[in-house]
Amino acid sequence: MNKQKSTISDSIFWQQFCKNPLAIAGSIIVFLLFLVSLLAPVISPYAPGDIDVKSILEAPSLKHPLGTDQLGRDLLSRMIWGSQISLKVGFIAVGISSTIGLLLGAMAGFYGNWIDWIIMRLVDIMLCFPTFFLILAVIAVLEPSIWNIMMVIGLTSWMGVARLVRAEFLSLKEREFVLAAKSQGLSDLRIIFRHMLPNALAPVLVAATLGVAGAILTESALSFLGIGVQPPIPSWGNILTAGKDNIQFAWWLSVYPGMAILITVLGYNLLGEGIRDATDPRLRE
């Protein structure tokens, strides 16, 4: 019976999702980004670190479709490899934040009382700090590296997930199936992870999808400021930094990575909105 209900629910979800053309567009963008990142060693025309002093700041051409940078490196190749950095930062940072948010939100919603009070006050304190400036301060103290960036973004962006999970758990713990599980003497961990958490994942999935876009944007901003991914590792943000320095006579260094960031963030936002609309029963016809 539960399996049949799950199948029907999945079917309704996909029907609603496929009716949304913007969600489909977002899915295509995300899929293409995955494909480019996965096939980077195959489709990249040059190695991202190859320097050609004869082709410094060369405009887009057949040899270099997106032009070259200030060291003669092929911009298309660096952007293709830079997509791997964006995906890695986005998914690992969101994985960290979602895990923390799930655990704390579940504890707050399930146990309530002083545990809920402590966790929610911690959320309030974290929300008082401007997240980006908090990340800037921490990165300025630590050594700038991709791993530090992923950790810091993940550790400073879990509050929304915690609130969502807490709200879901407050609703779920009064449902009949949870009360029945408690009456059978099941352990708290089993009730939380086996019975309640699977029913609270829909809003978390939406938040995680939107969070990937935010993490990519944050990483690009940090790399643009010079405290993110450090050269010669290619990142869309540090490519933009080179574009800023040469914007008067090398417009392609700013336009193409900027468009890549815009399209990627837009794709994840459209996908997240589509998932949210498909899981919201109020929007079903």
Question: Is there a domain that residue 43 lies in?
Answer: no
Question: Is there a domain that residue 54 lies in?
Answer: no
Token pair of 115 as six digits: 């545990």
10 Å Cβ neighbour count for 247? 13
According to the model, what pLDDT value does residue 280 have?
Answer: 66
Question: What's the pLDDT tens digit per position in 233-267?
Answer: 888 888 888 888 788 888 888 899 999 999 999 99
According to the model, what pLDDT value does residue 202 have?
Answer: 81
* Res. 278 pLDDT band, cuts 50 70 90: confident
* Res. 281 pLDDT band, cuts 50 70 90: low
According to the model, what pLDDT value does residue 77 have?
Answer: 92
The more confidently predicted of residues 43 and 225 is 43
Q: 61: buried, middle or exposed (CB in 10 Å: 19+, 13-18, 0-12)?
A: exposed
Q: Does 9 have pLDDT greater than 70? A: no
CA-to-CA distance for 130 and 54, rounded, in angstroms? 45
Query: Is residue 160 within 8 Å of residue 104, measured between CB atoms?
Result: no
Q: What global pTM score does this model have? A: 0.84
* Res. 150 pLDDT band, cuts 50 70 90: confident
CA-to-CA distance for 32 and 35, rounded, in angstroms? 5
Question: Is there a domain that residue 87 lies in?
Answer: yes
Domain that holds residue 128: 79-280
Number of domains in the chain: 1
Question: Is there a domain that residue 13 lies in?
Answer: no
Question: Is there a domain that residue 236 lies in?
Answer: yes
According to the model, what pLDDT value does residue 7 have?
Answer: 46
Query: Is residue 172 within 8 Å of residue 196, measured between CB atoms?
Result: yes
Domain with 213 in it: what CATH number? 1.10.3720.10
Question: Is there a domain that residue 36 lies in?
Answer: no
Question: What's the pLDDT tens digit per position in 156-206?
Answer: 889 999 999 998 888 888 888 888 888 887 788 888 888 888 888 888 888
According to the model, what pLDDT value does residue 266 have?
Answer: 92
* Res. 104 pLDDT band, cuts 50 70 90: very high
Question: Is there a domain that residue 33 lies in?
Answer: no
Q: Does 81 have pLDDT greater than 90? A: yes
Question: Is there a domain that residue 127 lies in?
Answer: yes
